[in-house]
Amino acid sequence: MTVHIVPAPAVLVEHPTAPLLLRAGTRLLTCEAGLPAAALLAEVLARATGRALEVEVAQGPVPGALRLELDGDLEPVPGGAVGDAPGLATRAQEAYRLDVDSDGLLLRARDLRGLLRGAATVRQLVELGGDGARIPAVQVEDAPHHGWRGLSIDVARHFFGPADLEPVVDLLWLYKLDVLHLHLTDDQGWRIDLPSRPELVARSSTGAVDGDPGGAFDGQTWADLVAYAADRGIVVVPEIDVPGHVNAALHACGDLVPGGEPTPEYHGIDVGFSRLTAELPATSAFLRDVFTDLAELTPGPYLHVGGDEVLTMAHEEYVDLVGQAAAAVRAADKLVVGWQEVATTSPAPGTVVQVWDLRQDPAPLVEAVQGGALVLMSPATRAYLDLKYDATTSLGLDWAGHVQVHDAYDWEPAAVLPEVPGHAVVGVEAAVFTETLRTRDDLMWMLLPRLPAIAEVGWTSPDARDWADFRRRLARHPALWSADGNAWHPSAQIDWLG
């Protein structure tokens, strides 16, 4: 068997008949509304095969052509977790059906996002051989299990700009993830220029951990990255972490510090020492301004308020400050996401609480869910892809142990905490904190091969997931990674085929 689609589709039938050959001049037909998916597919197939495809707005069928069709009647294959993630594409919108034989390829979906998901399957099906590029004869029916399938990247400890992040977005697309969460601020740096607070990047973006060079998004580079992701059906969720992890803000704005003196720059990797102060008059205006500006820069539905690891603050003050941040987000018509600790603040119904540390008492989370909060699962022991693979891994941290490919694969988000009802779980997000990661190669080496494992946890229903079969399929993916110039870690858990 040569077909090796990751994440595994709901239905896959491999026909023993001849494949579709991609020739010079093979046509790619679509309707006006399907053009963005057709253009993307033509681009990635040209990169993969060296052959340009002609994209045309035209109706088929045409012998030997590829066709992308929007079909409002297409019913998603049965299945799925309970409920969609509010604000993200629904299961029906991401569903697609693909039929390939030697006469042509037909990809159908209700929505452009379904065509974008199906296009990733087409890319993975392309085989390069002696007689050129071909796509095997298959039938695929597919739709996601979980609605929120994300990757969080810390661009504060080390800055990663568009040149590093666009290849990451390409990977998210290839593996049918739909959220890119960017951790934009922390003690070590402030990485997004906000029009009402230019001093934040002016004073706090030039450095990074260990004195490495910093950087920040300006309005244009940010807008371009958000658009690049949107073109691939991926929503950007930006995070400004408050009320802890704020030394970059305290270094830029002395009025946020008791006594009025800006704090020194910080380029170490300790956590938990910096904090906002509720009783200072500047604090409320700061929270309102930064989340209002961030909302202006964000077409997506969610803003992340952070809320993690505030170790030096009375609980009442924590509740007040997280509440002010969340209120500013809601006033800007956005939905609130916060790390696990915000569960202790009686979050408003609909708040997404991102679980990361299974050592924390689950009781506040259970209570928050009873109050209408939703849960996003990023348990460090499964989904923190900055943790080392094993004791020999040079990069990465190990505070929650090691995460091998099997650890990243063999779990179900809705079953992580038995106390939390599965209906409240919107999905899964991998996370990469970058204390030890400096370059695109470092980042990719931690993501590959674990990100595809998390992607299958998010997309494929638990009863259709199988480690032995995943290993077999994943073993063929290095060809895809190398074609895009991505570094990867040859984990000994997989019998790689290159």
Mind telling me the catalytic residues?
309
Q: Indicate the residue among 133 and 151 with the shorter CB distance to ligand ACM.
A: 151
Task: Collect all residues with Cβ–Cβ distance below 8 Å to 146 and sequence separation of at least 6.
Answer: 81, 85, 413, 425, 426, 427, 428, 458, 459
Provide, rounded to whole angstroms, the least separation between the CB of residue 357 and ligand ACM: 7
Provide, rounded to whole angstroms, the least separation between the CB of residue 245 and ligand ACM: 8
CA atoms within 13 A on the CB side of 349: 3
Q: Indicate the residue among 160 and 356 with the shorter CB distance to ligand ACM.
A: 356
Q: Indicate the residue among 168 and 353 with the shorter CB distance to ligand ACM.
A: 353
Contact characters 312-351, ligand ACM, x per CB under 6 A:
---------------------------x------------
Task: Collect all residues with Cβ–Cβ distance below 8 Å to 379 and sequence separation of at least 6.
Answer: 355, 356, 357, 358, 411, 416
Provide, rounded to whole angstroms, the least separation between the CB of residue 385 and ligand ACM: 12
Q: Indicate the residue among 94 and 386 with the shorter CB distance to ligand ACM.
A: 386
Determine how many CB atoms are found less than 10 A away from the CB of residue 17: 11
Provide, rounded to whole angstroms, the least separation between the CB of residue 15 and ligand ACM: 46
Contact yes or no for 62/104 (Cβ under 8 A): yes
Provide, rounded to whole angstroms, the least separation between the CB of residue 191 and ligand ACM: 17
239 binds ligand ACM (CB under 6 A): no
**Which of 101, 127, 210, 309 is close enough to bind ligand ACM by CB under 6 A?**
309
Question: Beta strands of 132-215 (E only): which ranges?
Answer: 132-135, 138-142, 148-154, 179-183, 185-186, 189-190
Provide, rounded to whole angstroms, the least separation between the CB of residue 288 and ligand ACM: 24
Q: Indicate the residue among 235 and 380 with the shorter CB distance to ligand ACM.
A: 380
Residue nearest ligand ACM by beta-carbon distance:
308
C-alpha R_g of the chain:
23
Provide, rounded to whole angstroms, the least separation between the CB of residue 306 and ligand ACM: 8
445 binds ligand ACM (CB under 6 A): no
Q: How far apart are CA 69 and CA 176, in angstroms?
A: 19
Task: Give the closest residue to 165 by CA, choosing from 193, 191, 199.
Answer: 191
308 binds ligand ACM (CB under 6 A): yes
Show the tokens assigned to 110: 């209700």
Show the tokens assigned to 35: 């053009």
Contact yes or no for 408/455 (Cβ under 8 A): no
Q: Rounded to whole angstroms, what are the CA distances from 222 to 57, 160, 192, 244, 321?
A: 31, 12, 8, 24, 27
Q: How many residues bind ligand ACM (CB under 6 A)?
A: 4
Provide, rounded to whole angstroms, the least separation between the CB of residue 304 and ligand ACM: 10
CA atoms within 13 A on the CB side of 368: 29
**Which of 266, 291, 302, 356 is close enough to bind ligand ACM by CB under 6 A?**
356
Q: Indicate the residue among 111 and 186 with the shorter CB distance to ligand ACM.
A: 186
| Degrees to nearest 5, angle at CA 477 with 474 and 480 | 160
Q: Indicate the residue among 141 and 386 with the shorter CB distance to ligand ACM.
A: 386
What's the distance, Cα to Cα, between the start and end of the chain in Å?
A: 16
The helix/strand/coil state of 321 is helix
Q: How far apart are CA 475 and CA 482, in angstroms?
A: 13
Provide, rounded to whole angstroms, the least separation between the CB of residue 102 and ligand ACM: 50
The helix/strand/coil state of 127 is strand
Q: Indicate the residue among 58 and 271 with the shorter CB distance to ligand ACM.
A: 271
Q: Indicate the residue among 199 and 357 with the shorter CB distance to ligand ACM.
A: 357
Provide, rounded to whole angstroms, the least separation between the CB of residue 387 and ligand ACM: 11
Task: Collect all residues with Cβ–Cβ distance below 8 Å to 286 and sequence separation of at least 6.
Answer: 197, 249, 253, 256, 276
Q: Indicate the residue among 308 and 456 with the shorter CB distance to ligand ACM.
A: 308
Determine how many CB atoms are found less than 10 A away from the CB of residue 63: 9
| Degrees to nearest 5, angle at CA 448 with 385 and 92 | 85
DSSP 258-316: TTSPPPPP--S---S--B--TTSHHHHHHHHHHHHHHHHT--SSEEEEE-----SS-HH
What strands lie across the sheet with 11-14, from one edge to the other?
11-14, 138-142, 96-101, 104-109, 65-70, 27-30, 54-57
Q: What is the largest CA-CA distance in the chain?
A: 77
Q: Which residues bind ligand ACM (CB under 6 A)?
A: 308-309, 339, 356
